[in-house]
């Protein structure tokens, strides 16, 4: 594009990525500290607070693109981010720190939830990739149910996930 200072834009991108690395490190340390202080199970903190906080940039991109009537960009961002997390972030972590044990009894139900959430999103997007207000509230309610279930698992009220 005309008038774009490419080196400056690359610099802003690099600075933004650097800021994300530093703030995510602090976020994880803070969540671990608060979890230990208040007795919040690590799993509960991870799938709620850490997940929401690290997904905040995705949410902001989605809001911005929705305002600009660019829903396909919003959807692409969410799907790309989740694909990146599954196929890059997890293996990269293992390559950096070495083998990581995963509790299969926890992973399978959580992957099932991820699959259901993905199908639910696509069902609501069935018409022209457009979400209406009611569908948006339904998806938020589904997330609320997910959080309630994870809390119930963490306090022992339900036992679908073993070892949480």
Q: What is the mean pLDDT of the chain?
A: 87
Among 64, 74, 53, smallest CA distance to 131 is for: 74
How far apart, in whole angstroms, are the C-alpha atoms of residue 69 and residue 5? Answer: 26
**pLDDT for 143 beyond 90:** yes
Q: What is the pLDDT of residues 15-39, one digit of tens each?
A: 999 998 888 889 889 999 999 999 9
**pLDDT for 13 beyond 90:** yes
Q: What is the pLDDT of residues 99-140, one digit of tens each?
A: 888 888 888 888 899 999 989 888 888 876 678 889 889 999
Confidence of residue 1 (pLDDT cuts 50, 70, 90): low
How far apart, in whole angstroms, are the C-alpha atoms of residue 148 and residue 65? Answer: 29
| pLDDT score for 163 | 65
Among 75, 109, 111, smallest CA distance to 90 is for: 111
How far apart, in whole angstroms, are the C-alpha atoms of residue 150 and residue 11? Answer: 40
């Amino acid at each position: 594009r005309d008038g774009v200072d490419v080196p400056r834009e690359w610099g802003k991108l690099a600075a933004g990525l650097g800021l994300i690395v530093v703030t995510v490190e602090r976020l994880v340390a803070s969540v671990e500290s608060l979890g230990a202080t208040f007795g919040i199970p690590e799993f509960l903190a991870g799938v709620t607070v850490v997940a929401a906080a690290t997904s905040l940039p995705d949410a902001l991109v989605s809001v911005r693109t929705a305002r600009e009537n660019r829903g396909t960009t919003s959807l692409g961002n969410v799907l790309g981010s989740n694909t990146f997390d599954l196929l890059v972030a997890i293996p990269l972590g293992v390559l950096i720190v070495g083998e990581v044990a995963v509790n299969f009894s926890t992973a399978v139900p959580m992957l099932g939830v991820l699959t259901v959430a993905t199908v639910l999103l696509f069902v609501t997007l069935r018409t022209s990739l457009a979400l209406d207000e009611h569908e948006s509230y339904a998806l938020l309610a589904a997330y609320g149910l997910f959080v309630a279930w994870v809390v119930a698992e963490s306090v022992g009220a339900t036992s679908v996930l073993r070892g949480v």
